[in-house]
Chains A and B, each alone.
Chain A
Amino acid sequence: MEDKTLIELKTKIQNKEISSYELTKFFLNRIKKIDPKLNAFITVTENDSLKKAKKIDSEIAKGNINPLSGIPIAQKDIFCTKGIRTTCGSKMLEDFISPYDATVVEKLDKAGMIIIGKTNMDEFAMGSSNETSYFGDVKNPWNLNCVPGGSSGGSAASVAARLIPCSTGTDTGGSIRQPASLTGICGIKPTYGRVSRYGMIAFASSLDQAGIFTRTAKDCAILLSHISGYDVKDSTSSKKEVPDYYKECTKKFEKMKIGIPEEFLDGLDSKVAEVFTESINIFKSNGCEIKKISLKNSKLGVSAYQVVAPAECSSNLSRFDGVRYGFRANDVKDIDELYKKSRSQGFGDEVKRRILIGTYALSTGYYDAYYLKAQKIRTIISKEFQNAFKEVDVIIGPTAPDCAFKLGEKLNDPIAMYLSDIFTVSTNLAGLPAISIPMGFKNKLPLGLQIIGNHFDESKILSLSNHYQNLTDWHMQKPDMLGET
């Protein structure tokens, strides 16, 4: 059952081969059995999920069925969920219960899905290894000594370990694609503005975008259609019509021109390069044209990102001041001490580091040299992508420079950690959609292939992903979580 795709489960429920209750119970049991090894969940909502499943079953019995009725999903703990605590992986929000649902949560609820729990993540989505979470590290299902990537590490690990058929994530600099790559699943970050950010706790508002983890491109497509669309509550969401991504990506494959930036291959790990070359060959021999392109400014992406993201986060996280909600330090003399102690004790080191960097970058006298310059680089990177898309339909490359690394390996080397995002950040800076799908292994650890599209070209990248998955079975590989094989 755990190997069934979202589409298969949808059919089973609609044909009444299985009830939502049974399905939910099944995955809850799997979580109970396996999650203690992974720590992918911060909160599991067993009672609420089963109650909801029963309710949906009775609706189905009455003939009221929604597109995704009765299928469980895990929500990254960055999405506000009414009545279920939303921690954002931080001590600061350890006991925070939102009075409202995020738009993504609301939309999936309307589609009939059942929240099974909230997944672990790097604190406030700041990290690439899921080691900055206040609720402990998440382990990679392929090797429990390795990280699952971050920040959406729990969402990725839970799908990879078949604890859940699908989950939500957010991606500010690679937080969906990098963990998808490291855990061997599918993770899509849509175009900036495609999905509403309302109710998604902000890290860097101009870069944050919600997305989906599944095991197949088709499942990804189905969910993406459900969470996308204009939201009056988010002024930066797009009014562009939402296509039926499933229909689009399963249409007869049309020949595509694929660009490969030479910069992505420069000094690349030899095994990663080998695996990637195999993927290129598959595309070459299956109706695609490969074209070498140059994105010479993309190497500036990480630097620009490390200014813009901390700058926005330093402001976004100011609301966590201990005054109205969240963690408040005891024994304070006055309001200044209340701020200082609550924030010192409530935030972890990585969050504090980024607040400090961001505060510095926005300060009088430094703003032009850092923030403004980073914004200019951002424009240059966007233009470079736009020029590239005049010549090619999509751009591909490895999602991450390497496979999953060991827990603790990069924790004390922030620069090395930040470089895990080297291939992913520039798409956030340019607001482009991108997906990571499994393309092979190194040392029995998965590697991801990143496909980047032009703005609102989600259909194209999903279509190419689906094409690839029809030709390969990397996405069918499965970590041996219960020693079953």
Chain B
Amino acid sequence: MWESVIGLEIHVQLKTQSKIFSSASTNFGAEQNTQACAIDLGLPGVLPVLNEEAVKMAIKFGIAVGANIENNSVFARKNYFYPDLPKGYQISQYEIPIVSNGSVNIDIDKKVKKIRITRAHLEEDAGKSIHDLYENESAIDLNRAGTPLIEIVSEPDLSNAEEAVKYLKYIHSLVRYLDISDGNMQEGSFRCDANISLKKSNSSELGIRAEIKNINSFKFVEQAINYEIQRQGEILDSGKSVIQETRLFDPIRNETRSMRSKEEANDYRYFPDPDLLPVSISNSLIENIKLNMPELPNEKKERFIKQYKLTDYDTSILVLDKDLSAYYEKVLEKTSLNPKTTANWIITELLSYANKSNTGVKNYPVNFEDLASLLTYIHDGLISNKQAKIIFEKMWNNGEKPQDIIEKEGIKQISDTMEINKLVDNVIKNHYKSVEEYLAGKDKLFGFFVGEVMKESKGKANPKIVNQLLKEKLRNDK
């Protein structure tokens, strides 16, 4: 009887060289407080200067989600005290954000669902408080303070955890396609808050919401939302009402816990930051960025389906990860195997290893050239699909080259010309009609003859010799 209504606020760190309002580096992992300059430390008298790269990245995002790009957006101060917020306020955008009214399409149960994006605004990240370094004392690391963020706020268009995760994954994929964020969730480059409420089915009136703060993995988003839906459902079922509050997700206990109620919430006293002029963006800049947009996930998906005749399902998997789709296309360029089978190989074989070991494309122990060779061997009939799988396992685990494994493991080829000659003769004899067609100009059939010879040899014939002999014989027949 309850329907859940979910909206996400996604915080994405932008991969600019320097911070949004200072020239300090944004590199992750440096020694504490070595990447914070006078401006990041909030020393008396310092002033922020806007990093134009961050603005361009926000524009790129806005274009990608078909949003309105504001020509004169305004930075505002969000005032609150926190030890890792050096100025006592965060520079953010409030009334006039840089990006508004966009949307993305996600696939839900084979249907396309449009998720509206209310706004995306630029802001600075805070530092980090560290509580476990010293006894009875807290430490502050301001390296992260001033790292540029865009906060992407969706409308409450998501109906359940699955949709929320799909949307989140899509945005994650998108910012990586746009090359505006590394999307690294462990390092906090991509994290989100979820607003969840329940309403009566068939009612248009929204229920009271709880906001779950700072969730930094897809799995946790799913768990937190599901926990929250159940918690609120139980409260409502018992006739009580949900309290508007901010909650934290505890992944160890798999539950959300109250952080502060509405009454305890800060009054942020937003007002336009007098240190910064409105962000003036010309239409020509927007047009210029538009002209240089990279291919977006949805565009790539359409192209893959058209160009490689892949299924919708396979394509979705390949394009979600920008690096994976690039890997796939590089393998394709080198291998003789067809796109469809190549895609199958990547999705079923390679990805099962990658997912098991949680390895990103950049760290695959098998480079695209080796995989391409392996697949070409299959294509040439040098090895069977089954043999290939065994070889691949060794390639993944030991980083060996496929030809080395084949040689070492004695997956022997028949290179005896006499023996192969016999096989070739048999194939020509048994497929006389095809030979006629071939001779009449259907050149594509050559591969078929090679395949047949390989089959006869149980994959062991040396494809080079097979090729050579077949060419000679068929030419003689001409």
A-to-B contact residues, CB < 8 Å: 79-80, 86, 88, 93, 96, 98-100, 102, 197-202, 204-206, 232-236, 311-312, 314-315, 317-321, 323-325, 335, 339, 359, 362-364, 367, 371
A275–B287 Cα distance when bound, in Å, is 62
**Shortest Cβ distance from residue B271 to the other chain A in the assembled complex, whole angstroms:** 6
Contact A235 B275 (CB under 8 A): yes
A102–B38 Cα distance when bound, in Å, is 12
Q: Mark B66-86, 1 if CB is under 8 A from A, else 0.
A: 000000000001010101001
A93–B269 Cα distance when bound, in Å, is 26
If A99-B38, A315-B271 touch, whether A235 touches B47 (CB-CB below 8 Å) is yes
Instruction: Identify the closest chain A residue to B129 (Cβ).
Output: A335
Question: With a CB–CB cut-off of 8 A, which chain B residues contact A312?
Answer: 274
**Shortest Cβ distance from residue A233 to the other chain B in the assembled complex, whole angstroms:** 6
Q: Does B423 contact A (CB under 8 A)?
A: no
Give 11 pairs: A residue, B residue, CB < 8 Å, sorted on A: A88-B44, A202-B44, A205-B274, A235-B276, A235-B277, A318-B81, A318-B87, A319-B42, A319-B87, A325-B43, A367-B271
Contact A98 B43 (CB under 8 A): yes
A367–B44 Cα distance when bound, in Å, is 26
Contact among A202, A315, A335 with B269 in the assembled complex (CB-CB below 8 Å): A315
Contact A199 B275 (CB under 8 A): no
For chain B, the bracket of interface size reads 20 to 34
If A197-B47, A335-B83 touch, whether A311 touches B276 (CB-CB below 8 Å) is no
If A236-B277, A359-B269 touch, whether A198 touches B88 (CB-CB below 8 Å) is no
Question: With a CB–CB cut-off of 8 A, which chain B residues contact A371?
Answer: 271
**Shortest Cβ distance from residue A246 to the other chain B in the assembled complex, whole angstroms:** 28
Contact B79 A232 (CB under 8 A): no
Contact among B79, B140, B270, B271 with A318 in the assembled complex (CB-CB below 8 Å): B79
Contact A315 B38 (CB under 8 A): no
Question: With a CB–CB cut-off of 8 A, which chain A residues contact B138?
Answer: 335
Q: Does B41 contact A (CB under 8 A)?
A: yes
A314–B88 Cα distance when bound, in Å, is 10
Instruction: Identify the closest chain B residue to A318 (Cβ).
Output: B88
A274–B320 Cα distance when bound, in Å, is 81
**Shortest Cβ distance from residue B188 to the other chain A in the assembled complex, whole angstroms:** 22
Contact A363 B47 (CB under 8 A): no
Question: With a CB–CB cut-off of 8 A, which chain B residues contact A98?
Answer: 43-45
A315–B140 Cα distance when bound, in Å, is 21
Contact B86 A362 (CB under 8 A): no
Q: Does B327 contact A (CB under 8 A)?
A: no
Instruction: Identify the closest chain A residue to B87 (Cβ).
Output: A319
Instruction: Identify the closest chain B residue to A326 (Cβ).
Output: B44
If A235-B50, A236-B277, A339-B81 touch, whether A311 touches B43 (CB-CB below 8 Å) is no
Return the 10 tightest CB-CB contacts between A and B, nearest first.
A318-B88, A206-B274, A362-B269, A205-B274, A199-B45, A319-B42, A201-B44, A80-B45, A319-B87, A201-B45
Contact A319 B45 (CB under 8 A): no
Contact A362 B83 (CB under 8 A): no
**Shortest Cβ distance from residue A466 to the other chain B in the assembled complex, whole angstroms:** 32
B418-471, CB < 8 A from A:
none
If A205-B275, A312-B274, A363-B269 touch, whether A232 touches B49 (CB-CB below 8 Å) is yes
Contact among A96, A233, A325 with B49 in the assembled complex (CB-CB below 8 Å): A233
Q: Does B267 contact A (CB under 8 A)?
A: yes
Instruction: Identify the closest chain B residue to A336 (Cβ).
Output: B81
Question: With a CB–CB cut-off of 8 A, which chain A residues contact B207?
Answer: none
B-to-A contact residues, CB < 8 Å: 38, 41-50, 77, 79, 81, 83, 86-89, 138, 140, 267, 269-271, 274-277
Instruction: Identify the closest chain A residue to B277 (Cβ).
Output: A235
Instruction: Identify the closest chain B residue to A359 (Cβ).
Output: B269
Instruction: Identify the closest chain A residue to B42 (Cβ).
Output: A319
Contact among B42, B43, B81 with A99 in the assembled complex (CB-CB below 8 Å): B43
A362–B269 Cα distance when bound, in Å, is 5
**Shortest Cβ distance from residue A445 to the other chain B in the assembled complex, whole angstroms:** 34
A436–B89 Cα distance when bound, in Å, is 36
Contact A324 B271 (CB under 8 A): no
Instruction: Identify the closest chain A residue to B140 (Cβ).
Output: A323
Contact among B48, B79, B83, B277 with A315 in the assembled complex (CB-CB below 8 Å): B79
Instruction: Identify the closest chain A residue to B142 (Cβ).
Output: A324
Contact among A202, A359, A363 with B45 in the assembled complex (CB-CB below 8 Å): A202
**Shortest Cβ distance from residue B33 to the other chain A in the assembled complex, whole angstroms:** 10
Question: With a CB–CB cut-off of 8 A, which chain B residues contact A204?
Answer: 274
**Shortest Cβ distance from residue A363 to the other chain B in the assembled complex, whole angstroms:** 5
Contact A315 B44 (CB under 8 A): no
**Shortest Cβ distance from residue A361 to the other chain B in the assembled complex, whole angstroms:** 9
Question: With a CB–CB cut-off of 8 A, which chain B residues contact A317?
Answer: 88
Question: With a CB–CB cut-off of 8 A, which chain B residues contact A323?
Answer: 83, 86, 140
Contact B44 A93 (CB under 8 A): yes
Contact A96 B44 (CB under 8 A): yes
Question: With a CB–CB cut-off of 8 A, which chain A residues contact B86?
Answer: 319, 323-324
Question: With a CB–CB cut-off of 8 A, which chain B residues contact A315?
Answer: 77, 79, 88-89, 269, 271
Contact A318 B49 (CB under 8 A): no
**Shortest Cβ distance from residue B136 to the other chain A in the assembled complex, whole angstroms:** 11
**Shortest Cβ distance from residue A31 to the other chain B in the assembled complex, whole angstroms:** 25
Contact A86 B81 (CB under 8 A): no
**Shortest Cβ distance from residue B281 to the other chain A in the assembled complex, whole angstroms:** 15
Q: Which of A206, A319, A324, A367 has the most CB of B within 10 A?
A: A319
Contact among B38, B43, B81, B267 with A364 in the assembled complex (CB-CB below 8 Å): B267
Question: With a CB–CB cut-off of 8 A, which chain A residues contact B47?
Answer: 197-198, 233-236
Question: With a CB–CB cut-off of 8 A, which chain A residues contact B50?
Answer: 235
Question: With a CB–CB cut-off of 8 A, which chain A residues contact B44?
Answer: 80, 86, 88, 93, 96, 98, 201-202, 319-320
Instruction: Identify the closest chain B residue to A371 (Cβ).
Output: B271
Q: A318-B81, A367-B269 are in contact. List 9 more A-B contacts (CB 8 A).
A: A80-B43, A80-B45, A99-B38, A199-B45, A235-B277, A312-B274, A315-B269, A320-B44, A363-B269
A197–B274 Cα distance when bound, in Å, is 12
Q: Which of B41, B49, B88, B269 has the most CB of A within 10 A?
A: B269
Question: With a CB–CB cut-off of 8 A, which chain B residues contact A362?
Answer: 79, 269-271
A319–B79 Cα distance when bound, in Å, is 10
**Shortest Cβ distance from residue B345 to the other chain A in the assembled complex, whole angstroms:** 54
A201–B45 Cα distance when bound, in Å, is 4
Instruction: Identify the closest chain B residue to A365 (Cβ).
Output: B267
Question: With a CB–CB cut-off of 8 A, which chain B residues contact A88?
Answer: 44
**Shortest Cβ distance from residue A260 to the other chain B in the assembled complex, whole angstroms:** 32
Question: With a CB–CB cut-off of 8 A, which chain A residues contact B42?
Answer: 319, 324
Instruction: Identify the closest chain A residue to B275 (Cβ).
Output: A205
Question: With a CB–CB cut-off of 8 A, which chain B residues contact A339?
Answer: 81
**Shortest Cβ distance from residue A376 to the other chain B in the assembled complex, whole angstroms:** 14
Question: With a CB–CB cut-off of 8 A, which chain B residues contact A236?
Answer: 47, 274-277
Question: With a CB–CB cut-off of 8 A, which chain B residues contact A206?
Answer: 274
If A318-B89, A362-B269 touch, whether A235 touches B45 (CB-CB below 8 Å) is no
Question: With a CB–CB cut-off of 8 A, which chain B residues contact A321?
Answer: 81, 83, 88
**Shortest Cβ distance from residue A163 to the other chain B in the assembled complex, whole angstroms:** 25
If A311-B271, A315-B89, A363-B267 touch, whether A198 touches B45 (CB-CB below 8 Å) is yes
Instruction: Identify the closest chain B residue to A335 (Cβ).
Output: B83
Question: With a CB–CB cut-off of 8 A, which chain B residues contact A202?
Answer: 44-45, 275
Instruction: Identify the closest chain A residue to B41 (Cβ).
Output: A324
A315–B47 Cα distance when bound, in Å, is 14
Contact B275 A198 (CB under 8 A): no
Instruction: Identify the closest chain B residue to A311 (Cβ).
Output: B271
A323–B270 Cα distance when bound, in Å, is 23
Instruction: Identify the closest chain A residue to B79 (Cβ).
Output: A315
